[in-house]
Structure 1
Amino acid sequence: MLEGLRVASQNWIGRTIMAVVMGVIVVSFAIWGVGDVFRGMTSQRLAKVGSGEVTVEQFRTAFQDDLRRIQQRLRRAVTAEEAHKAGMDLQVLERLITDVSLDQKARQLGLAQSDEATQRMIANEKAFQTAGKFDAEKFKAIARDAGFTERSFLADQKTAYLRKTLTDLVIAAVEPPKLMIEAIHRFRNEARSVDYFVLPVSAAGAAATPSDEELKKYFDEREQTFRAKEYRKLTVLEVSPASVAKPADVADAEARKLYDEVKAKRFGAPEKREVRQLVFKTDAEAQAALAKLKGGADIDALAAELKRNPKDVDLGFVEQRDFGDAKVGAAVFALPQPGVTEPVTTAFGAVISVVKKISPAITTKTYEQVAEQLKGEVAQGKAAPEVRRLHEAVEDQRASGKPLAEAAAAVGLKTRVIDAVDDAGAGKDGKALDVPAGADLLKAAFASDIGVDNETVATRDGGYVWFEVNGVDPARQKTFEEVKGAVAEAMRAENAQKALAAKADEIAAKIKGGQSLDDAAKALGLEVKRATDVKRAQRPDFATNTIVQFFEVAPGGSGSVSVDGGKLIFVVKDAQTPPFDPNSIESRTIAEQLKPALQNDLLEQYVGGLEKTLNVEINEKALRQATGGEKEQ
């Protein structure tokens, strides 16, 4: 199992590592030879790993378990074909091969664990606890749901713990290199000042009106752009908390209670405090600093005396949830007025916080303004039993062979007809339609056909949508006469952009040749603006691709980038990066964020080398049969 690898694959770093793992398999095939890898297999052996093996039954069980978990998370059916396209079968197989490889290495090293030690570790697992104590019945239920007896589950957990012991030894003491941390620090914190102006589309001049021959040629070269999409006529029935809820039945007292719970977060601004913070390696250092602060010392002066980076000390105005350590946040917001907290022990050391100012919570909407909205939410929360009842009633009617409209009428519901919708949820006029279950329903509807009895589609709020495909208007190529106006507009826009790009290139060349940005803007009657403290991070005044371009040129350099309304011409005036402090909170945080990726990288390399040593062989035919890609003979 090596659950750590599976959990890691839920974030971008983990997915990158899994991609590398798949690459190792492909490279291994190239090195060892595909023919040799797939020889000497039995029909029940999916992979040979040294003296061990992965059987077809083991793979099928693991594959179905993963598929079931994904379906529960997505709240819809996922076919084996979809899972295969996503590479899930290879990921499951690699995990099983890894398990067998690590098991053999653990035995080779003489690693062992007693039943008593395994039982103690299981008892400490939160998954098997209720109210902080081991729950034997919960343990048995989990084992049973996983297809194990109590004894076999104990044995399975023992081998899993031994694998973890081995992998922990492999990645022990792994620390990110200082050079890597500094590189990330520079990437994140480099700040640039940029002068710029926006060259409007009108600056390129009016484009000439194209002739019919030019339009026809443009159409012929891009006719796929002017295709009519496929449209489908659907009959849908939605039964969800939102569709069956009765807000009028909710009492004011219930809605007001919800309002009191969420008003600071949803209908206003929570309390914020201006905070300075110092972190000390030892409690003794923290107590000495606390004595100075309580004696009247200024924390900024103390920070300068201790040679601390001001950016690490001044947190600005923060909410309680902004603190990485909840204990520190609780201490800061427990102060009744501005002052200094007692030292709080954290993973980084003892933390002393000083509250400079307090900004009270603000409520921007009264209960009366949001009462109807909150009553709807309360009603939806109570609607689950009625949703289940109606679901069973509709399914009973459908089981008797009734069309969807008749089944709905029999239980007091009405279907809705969507006359024409494309696979993106738009009607023939291009406007978005209200489609229950959104993209999930559209995907199912366009994979179905007229007359097919379809599975229900789950809604995100725990409801259901039934649907029938009543008609299909196939995709087709539109004629030139149908789209002549659209062709003319597309050609005009394209020509305008080309002319604008040429004009921008001409101006950029003059600036690179020595003309100042101010002179270039003045000649066009445009205003130069300055953006300061531009970092590689989102900001409201520039799109991400614009910020990327600002960092593509060296300080003093110029460039241009397309923006809404024209071309942005810019010059990077200067660039500054704050000094790197390997002991700052930011550097430690970067190190903690990097560590899992480095550990996974090292572990991937170790497992890859181990599998190569064990001469892994895979039965490709058995793999296709196990995933339904080929019928068994």
Structure 2
Amino acid sequence: MLDIVRAKQKSMFIKLAFAIIILSFVIGYAMLTSPTGNGDRPNDLAASVNGSKISMEEYRSAYSNIYNLYQNIYRDQFTPALEKQLNLKRQALQQLVDQRLLAQEGEKLGMEVSKKELVDAIAKIPAFQENGVFNKQRYVDVLSYQRLTPDVFEEMQRNDLLVKKVGDYLRGEVSVSDEDIEAEFRKQNEKVNLAFVRFAPALFEDKVEIKEEALKEFFQQNQEQFRIPEKVSIRYILFDPASYVDQVKLEQQDIEKYYRRHLDQFEIPEQVRASHVLIRVARDADKEVRKKKRALAEKILAEAKAGKDFAKLATKYSDDKASVAKGGDLGYFTRGTMVKSFEDAAFALKPGELSDIVTSPFGFHIIKGSGYIEAGVKPLEDVLDEVKQGLRKELARQLAYEKAMDAYNINRKAGDLDAAAKSAGLEISESGLFTRDEPVGTLGSQPELNSAAFTLQQGALARPLNLKQGVILMTLKERQESRLPELAEVRKAVEKAFRRDKSVELAQAAADKLLADLKTAGDLNAAAGAAKLKVEETGDFARSYGDFVPRIGQSADLAKQAFTLTEEKPVADQIFEINGKFIVAVLKKHSTADMAQLDDAKREELRTSLTKKKQDEVYRAKLDELKKKAQIEISPALASLMNEG
């Protein structure tokens, strides 16, 4: 069975593409729902676009949404280093600026979003649908759960539609000529294969000799690199929602409302139960083999139709080892689980019916239906315990937050956490010292917690924070300012950095020597062999790869020079530093595009993709022009925040 299960895991890039579709919507939400969106207070202003203010609250909301978006995409792979590489702080600002500029351009052009356009767009949002149809009650419930009113949401949607309409207008009409299509075809199909040697500095680190005077000089020149960052510690009390579960009272109307808001959790997908016999056929099997396998499948189908026990036939003939021990039974499965040809045939069967012979990438199947479950939603009475449990947790968290807010409001002027803890009957916990990027003791890594902790002043209570563990009320315990260290404090880190720095020089020198030898010898394998270096190949790649070179990485210079190399002059005339490594490359093979393969269907495909590409280029150019003409000012507070880390 495992052989015919379709892989469900989507690539990271597909997830990212989907996420970006909703990102502008999220930014629009930040713009419209920010409680301090006018940026009137000096410290609240993040930026302004032609006089239209963007508040720090808007920026934080936009950044938080983008952060959570990428965190959900990359999950365990989402590290502070990746966050920095993605430059999320600048992304958040850029999204807000683009939104402002497009909205302003829409006003200048007199563009509007009609009532019908707005209604149609909202009706198409799956979150507001039941069985594929817009449901007003679900619409109201979902917005209520998100603490949004229909008026605010509809204005947010109207703004989003206006921005998209302006974007479509800016893209305009473009033309694609036959020459453009032929050039693109050549770009995609002319290919080269490079042979190369890479020099990784890490492999030279053990050759670096550390001398005390050189180390001291290196430390003095790079002391800022080893600066000890600002650290704080906090005292806090935790309002654990679990402690308030017994105080929660469930009303029938709340139970029904929770159930309606979470219908997606109780959906029953359409399912079918089936058994099968698989006659496996290798993908590269010739016609004669396929003919014999087909004949065997037809024989088995005839026996099944004659009334022979299907389970015994599966046990005797099936090549699916996972299901053969169960008489071919695959159990219940949903759509999207099996390969399409198998799925279509199985879902077309009624219990007890036999399929004709079904062809899949794995061979020939005979399928017997044995059960069917229609798509639907579990009734409330069947999931009542689950609904009550979920509602209790939700209300308990709300109650925990209310208790924390009561303690905050009573003690905020005095900033007295001890009094707040005593009145709430809670113990005070303390964290150790932590930096802006480090986990906060047992509370772990939570960006909103770190951000709030570093804005705390001595003797002040922070507003309650809703964290994974519960709701916390905290105050600052200690702050250690950032400072420059003595060499003895950071000696190991300095030695490591020194080795890394000097190893780069050694790696580059080795690459320079190989290139010089190669220009003399003309044979990469011979020159590399003499130095006991490994020669690798990129494999064929086309101009359409852009700046990406397989097995090497991003390099505009190498990608461009690769297509200028010839059999007469196969050696790239420079060292390429890519991803911290030094590359020496030569031409291995050059393949020209076969223009005979450019048929009408391919021409139309290229015309479509080139049209979109040109429209996007026009859009980006016009948006860049709007930015050049615009007065965009970034506040010192935001500039400082963006330069951190």
TM-score (norm 2): 0.49
Equivalent residue, structure 2, for 1:356: 361
2: CA distance between counterparts of 1:478 and 1:148?
A: 52
2:564 counterpart of 1:557: no
The one-letter code sitting in structure 2 at the alignment partner of 1:473 is Q
2:423 counterpart of 1:419: no
Partner deviation per Cα, 1:262-312 (whole Å, 9 max, x = no partner): 9xxxxxxxx9x9999xxxxxxxxxxxxxxxx9xx9xxxxxxxxxxxxxxxx
Residues 172 and 466 of structure 1: CA distance in aligned 2, closer, same or farther (over 3 Å): same
Residues 132 and 380 of structure 1: CA distance in aligned 2, closer, same or farther (over 3 Å): closer
The one-letter code sitting in structure 2 at the alignment partner of 1:544 is G
Q: What SS does structure 2 have at the residue aligned with 1:425?
A: coil
Q: Which has the higher contact order (CA 8 A, sep 6+)?
A: 1
The one-letter code sitting in structure 1 at the alignment partner of 2:450 is L
User: CA shift at 1:618, angstroms?
Assistant: 9.7
Aligned with residue 145 of structure 1, among 146, 149, 156? 149
CA RMSD for the aligned pairs? 6.6
Q: What SS does structure 2 have at the residue aligned with 1:472?
A: strand
2:506 counterpart of 1:499: yes
User: CA shift at 1:465, angstroms?
Assistant: 4.7
2:223 counterpart of 1:210: no
Aligned with residue 454 of structure 2, among 430, 446, 457? 446
2:405 counterpart of 1:398: no
Equivalent positions of 1:170-185 (< 5 A) are: 174=174, 179=180, 183=184
* Paired residues of 2:521 and 2:527 also in contact (CA < 8 A): no
Partner deviation per Cα, 1:459-502 (whole Å, 9 max, x = no partner): 4x696554322111111111244445544443343223212211
Question: Which range is displaced more, 404-413 or 119-128?
Answer: 119-128
2: CA distance between counterparts of 1:552 and 1:603?
A: 30
* Paired residues of 2:49 and 2:97 also in contact (CA < 8 A): no
Residues 434 and 507 of structure 1: CA distance in aligned 2, closer, same or farther (over 3 Å): farther
Residues 236 and 197 of structure 1: CA distance in aligned 2, closer, same or farther (over 3 Å): same
Q: What SS does structure 1 have at the residue aligned with 2:436?
A: coil
Q: What SS does structure 2 have at the residue aligned with 1:476?
A: coil
Equivalent residue, structure 2, for 1:346: none
The one-letter code sitting in structure 2 at the alignment partner of 1:573 is K
| Structure 1 gaps, min length 5 | 1-7, 19-45, 49-55, 77-81, 107-111, 246-257, 263-270, 277-292, 297-324, 338-352, 361-377, 428-432, 628-633
2: CA distance between counterparts of 1:605 and 1:532?
A: 35
2: CA distance between counterparts of 1:557 and 1:411?
A: 75
The one-letter code sitting in structure 2 at the alignment partner of 1:451 is G
Residues 197 and 514 of structure 1: CA distance in aligned 2, closer, same or farther (over 3 Å): same
Equivalent residue, structure 2, for 1:99: 106
Name the % identity: 14
Partner deviation per Cα, 1:514-545 (whole Å, 9 max, x = no partner): 34222223222344344534674999994634
Partner deviation per Cα, 1:536-563 (whole Å, 9 max, x = no partner): 4999994634898576544433465568
* Paired residues of 1:437 and 1:457 also in contact (CA < 8 A): no
2:553 counterpart of 1:544: yes
The one-letter code sitting in structure 1 at the alignment partner of 2:514 is I
Q: What SS does structure 2 have at the residue aligned with 1:423?
A: coil
The one-letter code sitting in structure 1 at the alignment partner of 2:571 is G
Equivalent residue, structure 2, for 1:514: 521
* Paired residues of 1:235 and 1:417 also in contact (CA < 8 A): yes
Question: Which range is displaced more, 486-495 or 65-74?
Answer: 65-74
Equivalent residue, structure 2, for 1:31: none
1: CA distance between counterparts of 2:594 and 2:425?
A: 70
The one-letter code sitting in structure 2 at the alignment partner of 1:387 is R
Equivalent positions of 1:551-630 (< 5 A) are: 552-554=561-563, 555=565, 556-558=570-572, 560=575, 569-576=584-591, 579=594, 598-599=614-615, 602=618
Q: What SS does structure 2 have at the residue aligned with 1:422?
A: coil
User: CA shift at 1:420, angstroms?
Assistant: 1.0
Equivalent positions of 1:22-33 (< 5 A) are: none
When the two structures are aligned, how many residues end up with a matched partner? 448
* Paired residues of 1:425 and 1:435 also in contact (CA < 8 A): no
2: CA distance between counterparts of 1:93 and 1:103?
A: 15
Equivalent positions of 1:88-487 (< 5 A) are: 91=98, 93-103=100-110, 145=149, 147=151, 174=174, 179=180, 183=184, 186=187, 190=191, 192-196=193-197, 206-212=207-213, 214-236=214-236, 330-331=340-341, 333-335=343-345, 355-357=360-362, 383-401=393-411, 403-404=416-417, 407=420, 416-425=429-438, 435-459=443-467, 464-484=471-491, 486-487=493-494
Equivalent positions of 1:58-69 (< 5 A) are: none
1: CA distance between counterparts of 2:610 and 2:551?
A: 29
User: CA shift at 1:436, angstroms?
Assistant: 3.5
TM-score (norm 1): 0.50
The one-letter code sitting in structure 1 at the alignment partner of 2:449 is L
* Paired residues of 2:461 and 2:475 also in contact (CA < 8 A): yes
User: CA shift at 1:139, angstroms?
Assistant: 8.6
Residues 510 and 534 of structure 1: CA distance in aligned 2, closer, same or farther (over 3 Å): same
2: CA distance between counterparts of 1:73 and 1:188?
A: 40
Partner deviation per Cα, 1:96-130 (whole Å, 9 max, x = no partner): 432332328x9xxxxx99x9x77996896658876
1: CA distance between counterparts of 2:580 and 2:161?
A: 60
Partner deviation per Cα, 1:431-474 (whole Å, 9 max, x = no partner): xx665352332222223322232234454x69655432211111
2: CA distance between counterparts of 1:195 and 1:608?
A: 38
Residues 177 and 63 of structure 1: CA distance in aligned 2, closer, same or farther (over 3 Å): farther
Q: What SS does structure 1 have at the residue aligned with 2:475?
A: strand
Q: What SS does structure 1 have at the residue aligned with 2:498?
A: helix
Residues 562 and 335 of structure 1: CA distance in aligned 2, closer, same or farther (over 3 Å): farther
User: CA shift at 1:508, angstroms?
Assistant: 1.4
Partner deviation per Cα, 1:213-255 (whole Å, 9 max, x = no partner): x33332222221232221111235566889999xxxxxxxxxx
* Paired residues of 1:237 and 1:416 also in contact (CA < 8 A): yes
Residues 221 and 192 of structure 1: CA distance in aligned 2, closer, same or farther (over 3 Å): same
1: CA distance between counterparts of 2:241 and 2:197?
A: 51
The one-letter code sitting in structure 2 at the alignment partner of 1:557 is V
The one-letter code sitting in structure 1 at the alignment partner of 2:222 is R
* Paired residues of 2:194 and 2:587 also in contact (CA < 8 A): yes
2: CA distance between counterparts of 1:201 and 1:161?
A: 51
2: CA distance between counterparts of 1:458 and 1:275?
A: 56
1: CA distance between counterparts of 2:480 and 2:94?
A: 33
Residues 396 and 101 of structure 1: CA distance in aligned 2, closer, same or farther (over 3 Å): same
2: CA distance between counterparts of 1:454 and 1:208?
A: 51
* Paired residues of 2:49 and 2:631 also in contact (CA < 8 A): yes
1: CA distance between counterparts of 2:624 and 2:210?
A: 63
User: CA shift at 1:327, angstroms?
Assistant: 14
